[in-house]
Amino acid sequence: MSLYSSVALPFLEYGFMRRALLASISLGLGAGPVGVILMLRRMSLVGDAMSHAVLPGAAIGFLVSGGLSLFAMGVGGIIAGLSVALLSGMVSRGTVLKEDASFASFYLASLALGVLIVSLRGSNIDLLHVLFGTILSIDHDAIFMVGAITSFTLITLALIYRPLVAECFDPSFLRSVRGRGALYHLLFLFLLVINLVAGFQTLGTLMSVGMMMLPAAVAQLWGRTLLAMAIIAACVAAFSGFLGLLFSYHLHFASGPTIILVATVIYLLSLVCAPSGILRRRLKRPHLVG
């Protein structure tokens, strides 16, 4: 099999492969930078919790619309995710519980509700596809949605870059200059939720957080500045999407897990080879003069 027929042909021959490629590259471009900030804020597990939290919303959307309506499930997911984010925020501000504790309680409740709703219609293949991802379900509407979410994410990140970074680095300072840190934190959580929803199609609700966290971890191993990290994460995420789709096509694997496993392989390689990775730390090099 030539390189051309194995790498390019699947995308040239099949429309659904082209759409999947476009969707996953677009997804990666938005989710990568969001993941970097999430990880630097030490909120990796909050991202994971959120991906579980959007599940019942998507399931309810599916039941309400009575079919595989991307719009209904997306809206449901966004509502569920934001409710959990807001409730957790309110609990952590109003009580002694820290944010991670309140997130944990709400996402577990949300997940239980989601699983319950799924089990009511357990045999429905369409629903399973959305929950666990399938490239076949990506149509034009899905591409437009993912593209819109990515554009919105990148533009918003550019706009709120300074206050968001200030809020991450020194929240009490931002509070002392009345910088409205809570607003930017909330906006960021909103970006997180819509990016998770964007990942529904290719990756499934449970794994769409992988498109954020693994590239972000890779970026932290290679990059030194925030901008470099964001760019690296976006590229790694998009590339994982491309390679993952290719493997899933040839080997008949499910697309979501394959994409995430490709990202995992890049992560493992980076752990060894990257400037702040294992190899470099083990290597004895003479120190500099100053």
Partner 1 sequence: MSSHAIRFSDVTLSYDRHPAVHHLSGVFETGSLTAVVGPNGAGKSTLLKSLVGEECQVEGRIDFGSLKPHDFGYLPQAASLERQFPLMVADVVLLGAWRRIGPFRGVTRAIAREAASALAAVGLKGFERRQVGSLSGGQMQRVLFARLLLQDARVLLLDEPFTSIDGATTRDLFGVVQRWHLDGRTVIAVLHDFEQVRSYFPETLLISRRVVAWGKTADVMTDENLARARGASEAWQEGAGICVESEARI
Contact footprint for partner 1 (CB under 8 A):
40-42, 159-160, 162-163, 165-166, 168-179, 184, 223-226, 229
Task: Give the residue with the Cβ less far from partner 1, 141 or 170.
Answer: 170
Q: Which is nearer to partner 1, 175 or 250 (CB)?
A: 175
Least distance in Å: CB of 38 to partner 1? 13
Q: Which helix (H) or strand (E) holds 94?
A: helix 70-94
CB contact set of 141 (below 8 Å; sequence gap of 6+): 70, 71
CB of 268 to partner 1, least distance (A): 22
- Check residue 133 and give left, alpha or beta (phi > 0: left; psi -120 to 50: alpha): left
Pick 62 or 184: Cβ nearer partner 1: 184
Three-class SS of residue 49? helix
Nearer to partner 1, 45 or 115 (CB): 45
- Quote the least distance from Cβ 170 to partner 1, whole Å: 5
The two tokens of residue 276 are 């702040």
Query: At its nearest, how many Å lie between partner 1 and the CB of residue 189?
Result: 17
Task: Tell the smallest beta-carbon distance from residue 42 to partner 1 (Å).
Answer: 8
For residue 287, the 8-state DSSP code is P
How far is it, in rounded angstroms, from Cα 258 to Cα 240? 9
Closest separation between CB of residue 54 and partner 1, Å?
A: 27
Burial 5-35 (b: 16+ CB within 10 A, else e): eeeeebbeeeebbebbbbbbbbbbbbbbbbb
**In the complex with partner 1, which residue's Cβ is closer, 20 or 234?**
234
Phi-psi region of 64 (alpha: psi -120 to 50; beta: other; left: phi over 0): alpha
Question: Would you say 158 or 251 has its CB closer to partner 1?
Answer: 158
Give the nearest distance from C-beta 222 to partner 1 in angstroms: 12
Pair of tokens at residue 225: 């500045």
Task: For residues 89 and 102, give the distance between their C-alpha atoms in angstroms, rounded to a whole number.
Answer: 8
**Residues ≥6 apart with Cβ < 8 Å to 61:** 69, 72, 73, 74, 75, 76, 77
If the CB atoms of residues 168 and 194 are measured against partner 1, the closer one turns out to be: 168
